[in-house]
């Protein structure tokens, strides 16, 4: 996760010199995001004690949530499923057996700093530590982002193992959130990747279109539309109420670029661990023409233990979804086991 030292400069770190002179609307909205637990509680008519309890955990991993996302939360409800995902809690600071800093073995999968390869044919770039929102359950909340390449020259070196290996057919842009980079930084990277002849697909894993949909700019859509490698976008929404009209409009813009569009969610206690919540999420995704791809069992990252749902419960929920929904609306329930050659279906 982004450390607070440079949250906004990080948005342009691929090539700072190429940043546009005037901030775009989404950059202004990011700057205006809520970072103070007391303000969040005031906006939502919550007692000040929730803010007081948030302070210690926010010191470790700061609160960050765009105002447009706050507007989708219910006022006066400390258990609102959107609020739960972003509100720091004292529970995060209690160490729990089995919950670690690097639960999925990211650091032992690095081909080069910031370049991970775990699966055949696919390499993942950790482009930035910055995100539009800080999700309390984030499995990379302890990732050493300070070590990843910054700027065009450093990335050129990091791309060498991908350019040299014809078996890599797909590059995933991840982070943090890759759309935290400006278009001026991102678009040249798309073009550089497209020059690698064996690259067939360019995949972006992002939560920006959900939490701050203004990030889906015309320039980004046009770049995806003309991409030679097939563009694939995997969104990250966990609850139907995240998907309001502003998100629908951003998704409609993405669809114009003819991208393959998927969603991944994390099964989270107090957020979406009910048949109704998961079914409504899938139904809303289908309405927006997004395929529910993965439902992830929580990665056991230090600080997120209170979000864990037992796999027996997860399996019951999946069985209920299968009875209730068309097959294409039932996500694959998976977990990541370090060292395995693919995401592993949860079966027990």
Residues engaged in binding ligand PLP (CB under 6 A): 116, 118-119, 122, 124, 172, 342-343
The residue among 236 and 239 lying less far from ligand SF4, judged by its C-beta, is: 236
Residue in 343, 338, 259, 255 with CA at minimum distance from that of residue 294:
343
The residue among 122 and 200 lying less far from ligand PLP, judged by its C-beta, is: 122
The residue among 106 and 183 lying less far from ligand SF4, judged by its C-beta, is: 106
Q: Shortest gap between Cβ of 118 and ligand PLP (angstroms)?
A: 4
Q: Which residues contact 226 (CB under 8 A, 6 or more apart)?
A: none
Which residues here bind ligand SF4, judged by CB under 6 A? Answer: 1, 131, 133-135, 138, 140, 175-177, 207, 236
The residue among 140 and 203 lying less far from ligand SF4, judged by its C-beta, is: 140
Pick what 324 binds: ligand SF4, ligand PLP, none; C-beta below 5 to 8 Å, kind-dependent: none
Q: According to the 3-state scheme, what is the secondary structure of 92-150?
A: HHCCCCCCECCCCCCHHHEEECCEEEEECCEEEEECCCCCCCCCCCCCCCCCCHHHCCC
The residue among 103 and 196 lying less far from ligand SF4, judged by its C-beta, is: 103
192, burial (CB in 10 Å: exposed 0-12, middle 13-18, buried 19+)? middle
Pick what 159 binds: ligand SF4, ligand PLP, none; C-beta below 5 to 8 Å, kind-dependent: none
Pick what 175 binds: ligand SF4, ligand PLP, none; C-beta below 5 to 8 Å, kind-dependent: ligand SF4
Q: What span, in angstroms and rounded, lies between the C-alpha atoms of 77 and 69?
A: 15
Q: Shortest gap between Cβ of 106 and ligand SF4 (angstroms)?
A: 12
Q: Shortest gap between Cβ of 219 and ligand PLP (angstroms)?
A: 26
Helix axes 151-158, 183-194, angle to 10 degrees: 30
Q: What span, in angstroms and rounded, lies between the C-alpha atoms of 90 and 288?
A: 36
Pick what 131 binds: ligand SF4, ligand PLP, none; C-beta below 5 to 8 Å, kind-dependent: ligand SF4
Nearest 5°: CA angle at 30, between 307 and 242?
A: 45
């Amino acid at each position: 996760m982004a450390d607070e030292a440079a949250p906004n400069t990080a948005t342009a770190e691929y090539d700072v010199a190429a940043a546009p002179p005037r901030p775009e609307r989404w950059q202004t909205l990011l700057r205006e995001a809520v970072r103070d637990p007391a303000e969040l509680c005031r906006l939502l008519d919550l007692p000040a004690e929730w803010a007081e309890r948030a302070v210690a955990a926010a010191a470790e991993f700061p609160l960050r949530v765009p105002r447009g996302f706050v507007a989708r939360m219910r006022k006066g409800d400390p258990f609102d499923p959107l609020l739960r995902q972003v509100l720091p809690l004292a529970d995060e600071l209690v160490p729990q057996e089995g919950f670690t800093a690097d639960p999925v073995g990211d650091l032992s999968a690095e081909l080069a700093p910031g370049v991970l390869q775990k699966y055949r044919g696919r390499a993942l770039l950790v482009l930035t530590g910055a995100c539009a929102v800080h999700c309390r359950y984030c499995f990379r909340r302890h990732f050493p982002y300070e070590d990843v390449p910054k700027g065009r020259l450093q990335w050129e070196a990091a791309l060498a193992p991908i350019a040299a290996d014809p078996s890599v057919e797909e590059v995933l842009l991840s982070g943090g959130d890759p759309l935290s980079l400006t278009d001026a930084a991102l678009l040249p990277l798309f073009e550089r990747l497209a020059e690698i002849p064996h690259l067939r697909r360019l995949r972006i894993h992002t939560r920006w279109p959900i939490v701050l949909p203004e990030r889906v700019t015309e320039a980004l859509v046009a770049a995806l539309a003309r991409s030679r490698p097939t563009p694939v976008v995997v969104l990250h929404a966990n609850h139907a109420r995240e998907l309001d009209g502003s998100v629908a409009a951003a998704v409609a813009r993405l669809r114009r670029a003819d991208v393959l569009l998927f969603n991944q969610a994390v099964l989270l206690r107090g957020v979406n661990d009910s048949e109704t919540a998961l079914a409504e999420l899938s139904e809303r995704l289908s309405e927006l023409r997004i395929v529910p791809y993965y439902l992830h069992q929580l990665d056991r990252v230090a600080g997120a233990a209170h979000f864990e749902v037992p796999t027996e419960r997860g399996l019951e929920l999946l069985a209920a979804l299968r009875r209730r929904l068309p097959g294409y609306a039932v996500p694959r329930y998976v977990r990541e086991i370090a060292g395995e050659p693919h995401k592993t279906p949860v079966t027990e």
